[in-house]
A = this chain, B = another copy of it.
């Protein structure tokens, strides 16, 4: 049942990932590339492309001259920082069954900071949407997205959608990438109240600007995280090896 799309490489990748998760390999050692190629009836290049993707995702690592191995610590990382696109998904990956609540959706004038981020005039209309992601009525993530009003349909009723789908639907813009800053904060009174913590509690924030395919800024977003409920982990490997 070899078909195009998904690509052979992606099929091979899924197959190996599946074996890692379900069956496992002896000593966490993945068979040689030549062997895998014969087993699956594809060229070594295809195998290598698939392994490269898995390595990139942190699922495996390779040692020249030695072999290819399952990367146990990498498998434990649920949310890779570089590709977070839905906080609901992040919470799911951490074992929660989240709910989303839109707590405000208003038009405000852009302050200096927002105007600079979105490359619009100070005082220009900006749609500000605040959302809260909860687990069992306990808030975990608070997000505030600011989008130039000129980009948005006046009637954007389904605003509980993930932001990128929301923008796909209600603007003609496609959110392509974020530039994000990781900032430690002490929650102010308003944030603390929404997150059900004491004022001054320390948490993590992402302050980020989202761009479309033409490198135009289309959203200025700030997200606050309850450090006691959600913590980010990363794997750091030596660059040259």
Residues of A within 8 A of B (CB): 56, 72-73, 76, 81-85, 164, 175-186, 202-204, 208, 211, 215, 227, 231-239
Q: Point out the residue from B179, B183, B227, B235 that lies within 8 Å of A82, measured CB to CB.
A: B235
In the complex, the chain B residue whose C-beta lies closest to that of A231 is B181
Question: A143 vs B190: C-alpha distance in the bound complex, in angstroms?
Answer: 33
Is B231 a contact of A179 with CB atoms below 8 Å?
Answer: no
Q: How far is the CB of A71 from chain B (nearest CB, A)?
A: 9
In the complex, the chain B residue whose C-beta lies closest to that of A211 is B73
Is A81 a contact of B81 with CB atoms below 8 Å?
Answer: yes
Could you say which residues of chain B place their CB within 8 Å of the CB of A182?
Answer: 182, 204, 231-234
Could you say which residues of chain B place their CB within 8 Å of the CB of A83?
Answer: 236-239
Q: How far is the CB of A7 from chain B (nearest CB, A)?
A: 12
Known A211-B73, A236-B177; contact A184-B203, beta-carbon cutoff 8 A: yes
Is B176 a contact of A238 with CB atoms below 8 Å?
Answer: yes
Q: Point out the residue from B179, B211, B235 that lies within 8 Å of A179, measured CB to CB.
A: B235
Could you say which residues of chain B place their CB within 8 Å of the CB of A235?
Answer: 82, 177-180
